[in-house]
Amino acid sequence: MSRNAAKNSMSSERGKPADSAKLNSLLNWQSVTRFVETVMRFEVGVACVDLDSVLLHHNPEDGISRLGHPLPLGRDLTHLLRRHGFKVVVLTSRPADQHRLIYDFLLRHDFAVDDVTNVKPPADAYFDDKGFRIPKNWL
């Protein structure tokens, strides 16, 4: 077996988790799309989206000094929300003196955003990689 054939064989075995991750990502995207189009109530007219790991790739080792590369599904999410009439507010824990830089970076990379803040605004929905769904008025 040639080195390339062996490498391809190994990568195809390893490819299963990657394929599974891609499938999960696709299913999650379909779920998000369905949620925005049919379930999300429109009370405030605002959707709040987390910056790191939702809109931009985040490597915790980089800290808060570096903006990661744009995530295509994050960009698509901002456009989906805007198409459905929402103001898109980006929520980040980064300091306020970086918000203008972040906002300009997102616009240059074709994200449909209206504001960047580190104060949680009232919103119809929050899109966050670390969120845990708690039902309203849980007992």
pLDDT range class, residue 8, cuts 50, 70, 90: very low
pLDDT range class, residue 121, cuts 50, 70, 90: very high
pLDDT range class, residue 22, cuts 50, 70, 90: confident
Return d(Cα 9, Cα 1) in angstroms, integer. 10
CB 48 within 8 A of CB 120: yes
Share of the chain above pLDDT 70, in %: 86
107: tokens are 């616009």
pLDDT of 18 over the 50 cut: yes
Tens of pLDDT, residues 50-95: 999 999 998 877 766 789 999 999 999 999 999 999 999 999 999 9
DSSP letter string over 66-116? ---PBPHHHHHHHHHHHHTT-EEEEE-SS-GGGHHHHHHHHHHTT---SEE
Q: Mean pLDDT, the chain, as a whole number?
A: 84
pLDDT computed for residue 17 by the predictor: 61
Q: How many Cα atoms sit within 13 Å of 34 on the Cβ side?
A: 6
27: tokens are 């299913």
Stretch 89-117: mean pLDDT: 97
